[in-house]
Amino acid sequence: MKTPKADPSSIGNILLRMKLVTQEQLDAITDEQRSMREDLLMGNLMVAKGWITKEQLELALAAQQGMRTGGRNGQALAVAELSLAHSRNGKEQRERVVMKGAAVEQAFMMRLAGTRRA
Q: Which residue has the higher pLDDT, 103 or 36?
A: 36
Residue-level pLDDT at 63 = 79
Instruction: Note if the pTM is more than 0.75.
Output: no
Quick one: pLDDT band at residue 1, thresholds 50, 70, 90? very low
Give backbone dihedrals phi and psi of 57, rounded to 5 degrees, phi first: -65, -40
Task: Please give the full DSSP string across 80-91, using - where no structure is assigned.
Answer: HHHHHHHHHT-H
Question: In this structure, are residues 67 and 8 in contact, taking their beta carbons and an 8 Å threshold?
Answer: yes
DSSP at 18: T
Residue-level pLDDT at 88 = 59
Q: How far, rounded to the nearest angstrom, does the alpha carbon of residue 101 sit from its chain's CA centroid?
A: 14
Alpha helix ranges (H) inside the chain: 11-17, 23-35, 42-49, 54-70, 73-88, 91-117
Name the CA dihedral angle for 72, 78, 80, 83, rounded to a multiple of 10 degrees.
Answer: -140
| Tens of pLDDT, residues 67-91 | 777 655 666 666 666 666 656 555 5
Other CB atoms within a 10 A radius of the CB of residue 85 amount to 19
